[in-house]
Amino acid sequence: PALDQCYNLSDFEYVAKQVMRRTGWGYYSSGADDEITMRENRTAFHKIWFRPKILIDVEKIDMTTTMLGSKCSIPFYITATALGKLGHPEGETVLTRAAAQHGIIQMIPTLASCSFDEIVDAADGKQTQWFQLYVNKDRNITKRIVQHAEKRGCKGLFITVDAPQLGRREKDMRSKFADDGSNVQKGGDQDSIDRSQGAARAISSFIDPSLNWKDMPFFQEITKMPIVLKGVQRVDDVIKAVEHGMHGVVLSNHGGRQLDTAPTGIELLGEVMQELRARNLQDKIEVYIDGGVRRASDVVKAVCLGAKGVGIGRPFLYAMSAYGVPGVCRAIQLLKDEFEMNMRLIGANRIQDLTPDLVDTRGLHVH
Ligand code: FNR
């Protein structure tokens, strides 16, 4: 199908499935075990209903906001997803160029197919990039890559905390990972890579499962970038993140790729914001969510419930794999068009107008 026949993010998934190679499709589309969490990431949004306001002057709509102090055109970012070259020969730089055109923030993964410097060099010099960190058992390696990311201008450090061991994604395991000639081994020891367990497991052996709260001061010593914990799944861990001086959390289950039947970010969000407000900590930390965001209405719902922004993963990989930069640009534009329309239809002019009273979450905990 032609690009202009894609009218929503699911259309890109449909096309990507037709055109991608099996390894790439297996790696991108899979979730852990029975994929219950992966499905719930999507359906949780359907349980939230709007409570639109009428007769508000909505001629002018302003969708701009800031995340970790950086401006962006709309409250979502391209989250970190490994192995971009399984979908497109130019890998993550495709996402970089599309993000630049649209004023969107991109999170660069530790396990990108392109080298970190290639991805930063592909940026236009004005756009914002963040860095996602998998912590190496060798802290000197971690220190070096974090400080390099800061030196090259990254504006946020996202430490992934939901993956002390990579989840079991059976679709991915079945398609057996063959070396794509990329850069992903930089974090580990090439010789020890076991390729029989799928792409994810092949590349993740260097990740340190002993990482814990006591390590947090180490990161605060080696960088001035704001630090965000990515993959928080409980209310009390959000409070701990505040106590440890973190700048943010991403309520996330890694796109349903780690612990199956882990809770969804959108489901936790209300509870988290309620607890932060009860302790008067709501201004001490920025709360993000990711997982299953496929419509701008999902973004609107999350912002209404208190998220500073949301991450979107697979849809941009699919748009990239199917159509390259123009595909990712169209995916972003579709979301912008939907977002503007949603704002008008619920009676909100600016991001600050998106408040909890605009959503009804009573259906959320009914499974
Ligand atoms: C991911 N994700 C991820 N997260 C991370 O911290 N480091 C990583 O290397 C990766 N790699 C990765 C690869 C692929 C193919 C996917 C789909 C996801 C998780 C990602 O950042 C995010 O949490 C989810 O993708 C959000 O869910 P959706 O938007 O894909 O539903």
Out of 27, 28, 88, 162, pick the active-site residue: 162
> What confidence tier does 185 reach under pLDDT thresholds 50, 70, 90?
very low
Q: Round to whole Å and give the CA distance between 301 and 76.
A: 12
ipTM of the complex: 0.99
Q: Assess whether 254 carries a catalytic annotation.
A: yes
User: pLDDT tens digit string along 306-361?
Assistant: 999 999 999 999 999 999 999 999 999 999 999 999 999 999 999 999 999 999 99
Question: What is the rounded CA–CA span in Å between residue 87 and residue 24?
Answer: 6
Contact 148, 116 (CB under 8 A): yes
Q: What is the pLDDT confidence band of residue 45, given thresholds at 50, 70 and 90?
A: very high
14 is catalytic: no
76 lines ligand 1 (CB under 6 A): no
Q: What is the 3-state secondary structure (H, E, C) of the chain?
A: CCHHHCCCHHHHHHHHHHHCCHHHHHHHHCCCCCCHHHHHHHHHHHCCEECCCCCCCCCCCECCEEECCEEECCCEEECCCCCHHHCCCCCHHHHHHHHHHHCCEEEECCCCCCCHHHHHHCCCCCCCEEEEECCECCHHHHHHHHHHHHHCCCCCEEEECCCCCCCCCHHHHHCCCCCCCCCHHHHCCHHHCCHHHHHHHHHCCCECCCCCHHHHHHHHHHCCCCEEEEEECCHHHHHHHHHCCCCEEEECCHHHCCCCCCCCHHHHHHHHHHHHHHCCCCCCCEEEEECCCCCHHHHHHHHHCCCCEEEECHHHHHHHHHHHHHHHHHHHHHHHHHHHHHHHHHCCCEHHHCCHHHEECCCCCCC
Catalytic residue among 27, 28, 77, 134: 134
- pLDDT digit string (tens) for 243-279? 999 999 999 999 999 999 999 999 999 999 999 999 9
Q: How far is the CA of 277 from the centre of ligand 1 (A)?
A: 29
Dist. CA 366 → ligand 1 center (Å):
26
For ligand 1, the distance from its centroid to the CA atom of residue 313, given in whole angstroms, is 6
Please indicate whether residue 102 is annotated as part of the active site: no
Cα(133) to ligand 1 centroid in Å equals 12
Q: Of 148-152, 164-168, 172-176, 178-182, which range is least confident? A: 178-182
Determine the pLDDT at residue 191: 41
82 in contact with ligand 1, CB cutoff 6 A: yes
